A and B are shown apart, each in its own frame.
Chain A
């Protein structure tokens, strides 16, 4: 049927032309926008909601330190070299028995609610430690590994923190979200922090913020250290999809982006800079060391058998190209890292079988692990290795977050990504007394090594203690490390100077970002 005459064809051509014109108009704008360089603003693409619980810094873990560093100040601050220096507390001192820490506070610090910093405010903050929602305070709450028994005001600028037991080196914790100080109004009405931050940080939250999508901060002129921050405006853009994050960096929507290892080569091929640092260990964690949920896990030999049974290099080659296979519980840049573990627990299925036989499980055994969408493929790779030595690992996908959390008490083995910036804090807060040891197992060597690390006065002592700790974590099978993932910060070299990490901390200081010259 040939009904389309010349008039109809002309109509179609006009329509097509209009569409093309609109596209071209749009194209022109896009090119211009993409090439414009604004040195006053910085957009950081991050992988998760920076303020999923609102703007109370004490509700989040240290992974959100970078974001909250803009809005709040710490009692102690993380320095560019990874050490800890003065912050809102300009000086500190310990009692002779290390049970009391006295902080001397800076003066003239103003919060967004207009209040000023004093000892009473620091006490009011720390007195919130009984609130179970404040995860940053879990270690200092009653029964916590670093329990604070009381906080007292010595003078308007001095506050004394009393611990249940000696805590030398505790001040390092105050550089994490635990040490962030909320203003008077925020402490009095904590619900208000859900929507509005109340800090004294170098930036304040801009109303153009869109919850869960982008968080916009503008320079806080009332902050004395604001001049140390190069950008007038910083936007945290939440882009969960890793490829979309890399695309945003390549196409100029972001200046800095957290990249996953598989997208690093792509970013580099587009001429972008990538700074990398290790530090996050993806580790199987023995939740049950007593045999309550699976009798076999009470045996150290069984837990050791896991170390020999898993082909870590194969797992990394297949699923985590660019990351590092790990036989150490601590990261390779840690003082406690030792090459000995790499050879001592090298892949050896025969050795694994022999250990199982010695433990009375020559015919193998069966257990269930709870997985998630993120861990499923790793667990399937491990499942295959374990099956080869006679261990049947059933993978049950968690149907809810509650079920995933409950697994620490109902299943013998879990899988977690652990950051080891603060090994002592992690050991006390998570491994020895925290959620990965619900069955209350104990190990004298681990407790002793942790204590030694906490009390270490110099680098040599620290190295010795951490090496002992690392070695024992692996030998005891409390930790079954699989691989160390690299934290990758991609950056637009035309706009941002090379991104530098603060020591081994995986999240650069906001003050470390600077425009390219």
Chain B
């Protein structure tokens, strides 16, 4: 593993901020690498949990947000489950994702940030997830309109995806939550 560290935006890099956002103490990691051994996406992401932690130790800055694992992590929490120091690495990744959006880092292949926006926008509007609308929005935005099209006829025939939008949710409370979060995001803790 070769780690290249670029110039951090702040003197100490992202580590203190990530620790505050995730509530995780990264100092206790002693690089046993059980997390990386169990990570299902370390190979396709070309980066592993223990490596991300080490880079944070060494003062990595915003360049870390382009690491493949940031958006390819499945939140399967195998790393957390097996960590001898109980480091919640999935929470670290969630913090890196929030930072990556806040700092406008270029979306990775597959554009997970777009998927999340589409998902949450449908929840905000309908109070529940509306798969068809979410999928259509994601496909239009990501230019992957033709992917999986051969599956839709049988899914529709078998009732494996809802055609009509969901109804019945208490939309008022959902909108209130989204409104509050939107207003207070990034404000001092």
* A-B complex is real: no
Interface residues of B (CB under 8 A from A): none
Interface residues of A (CB under 8 A from B): none
